Amino acid sequence: MDGEILLEYGIDLCDYILGQIRPHLHELAKRPMEASSMRPKELYRLTMPTWVGWSVAALPTALADHIWAGVSGDPVLLLLGNKKIDAIGAALHDPPMHLEVHCLWVPFRGLHRRAIECVPEIRSNLTKQAAEEWSEDSARFAARLSEEGLLIADGIDTVQQWLWCVRRLRKVIGAEKVSSHTPQSQLPPKNQKSGITDNGEVGRVHKNKKGMQEINPVTHPPILTPQQIVKRYPVSLSTVYSACRSGILAHSRVSAKPGARGKYLIKQGDLLAWFDSLRVALAPTPPPVLDPISSGSQGEPFSELNPQRLARAWSSG
């Protein structure tokens, strides 16, 4: 077993995402081939199937064809990459306000429970601790996906995090299998690794001709989308959306359609300010405990206290 069970589970998680979309497309009389531009009054009369159909039509053709193939016939199970999942999540993350009550994630608890089938494979190829961490992560993702009122976009984000765990474990299992016989010349250079510059930017560390370590910082655009934020910082897409909706994260809304709520755009400075507002202050340091003053004479560490006076006071009490 070299990660085959994890691979199958990852494919099922991808189909879990598409299974939230296809039931709505079943209700359409025909497949929309392109997203339509509508006036505000028409936008507010959209039904959930029509909006989902237009959202799928706005996706890359190959991805839209794959989604529709499972509507008209038996679905083909494929492992979707991060770019395709990001595209699906972005297309469905901002429904018209009157459709939010219908744009909800439907949990499939049978698939949640099947995560336990991956435990023996992880334990046999890695460690018992890795298997326990997988079980804990799976339980957390399953609980999140079972929450009442979870939006489809937030559910997609949670499943994508689950898929990251699957891919990471399969990558580690593959590395364990090849590390014993991989030629040293084929391994990544030891002088290249991730690093952080003095101003906090992530970069690639390498050695120059003089053997000195240098960092080439990776520059980021000053304005970010939620999808770009989750790729660069350890925060989930649903957390960013919730912060924007609640007003604690400053942002802009840019809409290409009249009446639509628009895309979130966040300045990097506002993002860092939000992170700073969540900073937990360190607990105050307790004052040091000072040793009693001693006269320095051996045998009398507390010579400032008169033993005879203490004895009289004790006997008189």
Q: Quickly state the pLDDT bin for 186 (edges 50, 70, 90).
A: very low
Give the residues across from 224 on adjacent strands: 266
H-helix or E-strand spanning residue 207:
strand 202-207
Residue with tokens 């009442």: 148
Q: Quickly state the pLDDT bin for 218 (edges 50, 70, 90).
A: very low
Domain residue spans in the chain? Answer: 4-177, 190-217, 223-277
- Give the span between the Cα atoms of 191 and 211, in whole angstroms: 10
174 within 8 A of 127, measured Cβ to Cβ:
no
Number of C-beta neighbours around residue 90 at 10 A:
19
The pTM assigned to this predicted structure is 0.59
Give the residues across from 140 on adjacent strands: none
| E-strand stretches of 66-197 | 193-196
pLDDT of residue 207: 55
pLDDT of residue 53: 93
Q: Quickly state the pLDDT bin for 317 (edges 50, 70, 90).
A: low
pLDDT of residue 194: 41
